[in-house]
Structures are given as C-alpha cells and as structure tokens.
Structure 1
Amino acid sequence: METIRLAASQEVQEMLGVSRTRAYQITNSKTFPDPVAVLSVGRIWRTEDVERWIKDHRPDLQDREP
C-alpha cells in the first residue's frame, strides 16, 4: 500500500520557510497546486505537489529540511 503524504498550511509554511501571511499569499497564487481537500482545519495538499511546486518556482528551497 502506498503512503500518501499530506501537508496542511503549517507544514507548507515550514517547507517554504515563510511567515503564515506569506504562505497564505503563495498558496492562493494561480501557480500553486490546488488542495486535495478542504477540512474544518483548513486546506490540505499532497506533499509531493508542494515539493514539485518548490522545485519549479523556488529551487533555492528544494533541499531545505522541513
């Protein structure tokens, strides 16, 4: 069985190394992947989608430790 890795806003913020406000701006941009779910706790993304976006749009962060 394949493990699905998910990231909420807090994890995306940490992956990007930005403030909560900046993470909100980035995740609302047209280039950022759509969330796979919207729950009561917020939006949820597949971690691999976020990692791909970082590779394409913020290559300086792709080797960053979460």
Structure 2
Amino acid sequence: MGAHEIRARLGNLSRQRVYQLTSRADFPEPVADLAQGKIWRTADVERWITKRRERLGN
C-alpha cells in the first residue's frame, strides 16, 4: 500500500497530512522505499487504522 492508497483509504486526505501520519512513531514501518515512494503492508496499515479509531471511540 503506497501513500496514494493510504490517502484514499483515509478519506482523500491531503498528501501533507498522509506524510504527517506516516511519519508518526506509532505508524507501521514501511516494507520498502522505492523511487516512487514508501510501501507499507496493507494489513499493518489497516491494523493501525482500527486501533486509532478504537482510541477515538469511532
């Protein structure tokens, strides 16, 4: 899952906001850093989203 997919998954956030989120210490580590950008495991990102929503009470 690249930044574009994360952006779409979270409701079309700005590129800057996705960068801020993916730079957080609690965000999963990317599995690759390609010329086009970083790549994350979909399951890791989905787990992060679920935990974050649980903490926010959503």
Question: Shorter-chain TM-score: what band?
Answer: 0.7 to 0.9
- Deviating more after overlay: 14-23 vs 29-38: 14-23
Query: What residue number does 1:48 align with?
Result: 43
SS in 1 for 2:40: strand
Given candidates 5, 11, 16, the residue that maps to 1:11 is: 5
SS in 1 for 2:25: coil
Higher helix share: 2
Consecutive unaligned residues in structure 2, runs of 5 or more = none
Consecutive unaligned residues in structure 1, runs of 5 or more = 1-6, 61-66
TM-score w.r.t. structure 1 length? 0.76
Question: What is the root-mean-square deviation of aligned Cα atoms in Å?
Answer: 1.0
Amino acid at match of 1:56: K
Identify which of structures 1 and 2 has the higher relative contact order when contacts are C-alpha pairs closer than 8 Å and 6+ apart. 1
Q: Percent identity?
A: 50
Amino acid at match of 1:8: G
TM-score w.r.t. structure 2 length? 0.85
Higher strand share: 1
